[in-house]
Amino acid sequence: MSLRHRIAGRFPRLVIARRNISRAKVRSILAAASILIGVVAIGAIGAGGAAFKQSQLQSIQAQGATSVYVSPGADMEASHFDREDVKAIDETVGAAAVVATEPGSMELITSDGTRDGVSVTYIDDPRQLHEVERGGIPDNWRQSVVVSHEFAADRGVELGERLKLVSETETASGTVETEHTYRVVAVLVESQSFGGGGLFLPIEETGDRQYSRVEVMTESTDRAEAVAEALRDRFNDRKDRLLVFELTSLVRLLKTLVNGINAFLAGLGSISLLVAGVSIANTMLMAVIKRREEIGVLRAVGYGKVDIVRILLVEAVLLGALGSAVGLAIAVVVAMVANALFLGDPFAFTQSALLYLAGAVGFGILTSLLAGAYPAWRAANERPIDALRG
């Protein structure tokens, strides 16, 4: 007794189903192809869309969507944060890094004597935001300026150069201009971060050591959302003490948008599976009608209704599995192209891409199972004497 026969003996329904499928080859191939198309439609659209979404999310995240920006709210007594406030925020957000800054603006006196407005960020240490590309920031940072990569590049500023800046202060008697000269000690690395470019000065230069903006930097947009939530809970219970701003709402909007479009397209793909289901049902119905007497004989020699149903369902599922397997292979290739295109790596499958692929196969097989149900039920319920009377 051969091993093959022993294995076949274990799965007799599969053997019978396989033989029956190869009996009407063209019809079987067409039915499987219809499932294939559905699986490719759902899988490729879903996985490709997931790659696109991922690439968009990544670029949004690079723009600072993982940060939460906090400024004093309408109900806060002072219009600035002091060290105590910053400490309270720090405690609330847990592990996330907290960077307190005071934004401002100054006028740069260029070499030809003209004045040019520049944005200035007063901060304890610029390295909290960006790494240093050139130069170094002294431990006791005073009286010198750190410039962003973009600033240095735009204006051809070199390390060691002295920048002449003019600040304006409002006093009772009018606007007073003060001129400062700062030596450039460091250039920061390039960043795409929102509000990144400009000059960085020590917080002491504000004179009052007060901050009006706090950036909370987190690992992900989800964390950022949680942090924003925690801050609102803690500080804005009854009063609006903080103005909490995060890009996560934007991310959420994008996610819903892309997910919606993706689901819609995958839904369109599902229609092709529906058509495939009709095709499988038709194929099985024809098979059952053609094999009417054969099924009658099976019933006569002792096959129960359930046996007949199972044999025919195995056959339908086999058709679906065949189409789904080939469809999956094609969808994976398409998804890999999308991954390479959007994410730069053909194997960068996101979790939702894998879910779409698995779902497409699952639906493909489920569709054929459901499509096979009626023909199988019909065949099983025909009385053998009726089938055999011809």
Partner 1 sequence: MTWETSDSEGAKPTETARGDRPGDAAGGGDLILRGEDVTKEYQTGTQTVRALKGIDFGIAPSDFVAIVGPSGSGKSTLLNLLGLLDVPTDGAVSLRGQDVSTFSDADRTRKRKRAIGFVFQSFYLIPTLTALENVEMPRMLDKTPVKTRERAKTLLRRVGLGDRLDHYPDELSGGQKQRVAIARSLINDPALLLADEPTGNLDRDTGDEILALFDELRAEEDVAIVTVTHDAYVAEEADRVVNLVDGVIEDAGETAADGGHGA
Binding site for partner 1 (CB under 8 A): 1, 5-6, 8-10, 12-13, 16, 19-20, 22-23, 293-294, 296-305, 307, 383-385, 388-389
Nearer to partner 1, 6 or 238 (CB): 6
For residue 275, the minimal CB distance to partner 1 (Å) is 28
N-terminal to C-terminal alpha carbon distance within the chain: 38
The pairing of strands 199-202 and 115-123 is: parallel
| Helix (H/G/I), strand (E/B), else coil: 95 | coil
For residue 230, give every residue at least 6 positions away whose Cβ sits within 8 Å of its Cβ, in sequence order, or none: 92, 93, 94
CA gap 327, 347 in Å, rounded: 18
Nearer to partner 1, 123 or 298 (CB): 298
Nearer to partner 1, 22 or 173 (CB): 22
CA gap 383, 31 in Å, rounded: 28
Nearer to partner 1, 253 or 385 (CB): 385
DSSP secondary structure letters along 28-90: HHHHHHHHHHHHHHHHHHHHHHHHHHHHHHHHHIIIIITEEEEEE-TT-SSSSB-HHHHHHHH
Nearer to partner 1, 165 or 380 (CB): 380
Q: CA 284, 307, 28 angle in degrees (round to 5)?
A: 25
Nearer to partner 1, 280 or 314 (CB): 314
CA gap 38, 32 in Å, rounded: 10
Nearer to partner 1, 51 or 376 (CB): 376
Q: Which residues pair with 115 in a beta bridge?
A: 109
For residue 381, the minimal CB distance to partner 1 (Å) is 10
Nearer to partner 1, 300 or 333 (CB): 300
Residues in the chain: 390
* Residue ranges in 104-196 assigned as alpha helix (H): 149-155
Nearer to partner 1, 41 or 298 (CB): 298
The pairing of strands 67-72 and 242-246 is: antiparallel
For residue 255, give every residue at least 6 positions away whose Cβ sits within 8 Å of its Cβ, in sequence order, or none: 53, 57
For residue 302, the minimal CB distance to partner 1 (Å) is 2
- 370 burial (CB, 10 Å; 0-12 / 13-18 / 19+) is middle
For residue 54, the minimal CB distance to partner 1 (Å) is 48
For residue 379, the minimal CB distance to partner 1 (Å) is 14
Q: Residue written as tokens 């230069």? A: 205
| Helix (H/G/I), strand (E/B), else coil: 178 | strand
Nearer to partner 1, 26 or 301 (CB): 301
CA gap 58, 339 in Å, rounded: 13
For residue 30, the minimal CB distance to partner 1 (Å) is 19
